[in-house]
Amino acid sequence: MKHSSNGGLVYSTESGRMCPECRQPVAACACSAKATVIGDGVVRVSRQSKGRGGKTVTLVKGVALDPLALALLGKQLRTACGSGGTVKDGVIEVQGDHCELVMDALTKLGHAPKRA
């Protein structure tokens, strides 16, 4: 484990992701950075397979929602596509090539998605 010159934790495997504001584990974070909105409001739907062992993943970026609402939207999109996926760092990942299904579902939910 290394420490930077200003005394902050650089890397640790014991507590996982750290909050950049209060430098506590994200699960125990009590600052306002936890409830911030991630995304610029321009919803982009793309397909990616690089770095994933040849597996195709549909990505949804730029949704301007708080993390809890983003997780709920991810759940709705995965259910609509009938596949698995996750939400990481403000990006919804749906397993498989489901760009058209995801765009239709986002349109029905009131978003204006763009194909990227």
Tokens standing for 72?
Answer: 């709920």
Query: What pLDDT digit, counting tens, does each position of 71-83 carry?
Result: 999 999 999 999 9
The CB-based long-range contact list for 105-109 (8 Å cut-off, 24+ gap) reads 105/76, 105/77, 105/80, 105/81, 106/43, 106/45, 106/60, 106/77, 109/73, 109/76
The whole-number pLDDT of residue 41 equals 78
Instruction: Name the pLDDT band for 22 (thresholds 50, 70, 90).
Output: confident
Q: Which CATH superfamily hosts domain 35-115?
A: SUI1-like domain (3.30.780.10)
Domain spans, the chain: 35-115
The whole-number pLDDT of residue 34 equals 46
Q: Are 33 and 21 in contact (CB under 8 A)?
A: yes
